[in-house]
Copies of this chain bind each other. A is one copy, B any other.
């Protein structure tokens, strides 16, 4: 029987991933693909990451995803794509997502920013979203 926090986590996860079914699946696959060697991973992701942390007050969903993307850009971790999709889901515009990555150049350097721009560009193309205008 699922715990209350698991249910809370699943609801939050659905809220973050509507209307893009891909994104919900993506997040769930994170845990599900390791059922054989880490059967409790899905529970941890749903209960802790979504039930505890994403369900916290203090930041709205757009801020939460922007914050997540910023940290992953700084770490140089390759999982940014899934969070770019989630960002689009919760209403971040492509300009905001690209703007976040560009903003980080003075703090993390060009190389990590370039890696992240490449992932964002691919996700924007896959999701068929266009960037509105152009700062210059």
Q: Which residues of A contact B (CB under 8 A)?
A: 30, 34, 36-41, 43-45, 47-49, 52-54, 56-59, 63-64, 66-68, 70-79, 94-96, 98-112, 114-115, 117-118, 120-121, 124, 131, 133-136
Q: How far is the CA of A124 from the CA of B95 in the complex (A)?
A: 31
Interface residue from B96, B107, B111, B117 paired with A111 (Cβ < 8 Å): B107
Q: How far is the CA of A56 from the CA of B129 in the complex (A)?
A: 21
Q: CA–CA, A102 to B30, complex, Å?
A: 13
Q: Which residues of B contact A37 (CB under 8 A)?
A: 94, 98, 117, 120-121, 124, 131
- State the Cβ distance, A121 to closest chain B Cβ, in Å: 5
Which of A54, A79, A108, A112 counts the most B-chain CB atoms under 10 A from its CB? Answer: A108
Residue pair A102, B64 in contact (C-beta under 8 Å): no
Question: 17 A-B Cβ contacts within 8 A?
Answer: A30-B114, A36-B121, A37-B120, A38-B117, A39-B134, A41-B117, A53-B105, A56-B103, A56-B135, A58-B95, A58-B96, A58-B100, A59-B99, A67-B103, A72-B74, A77-B112, A105-B106
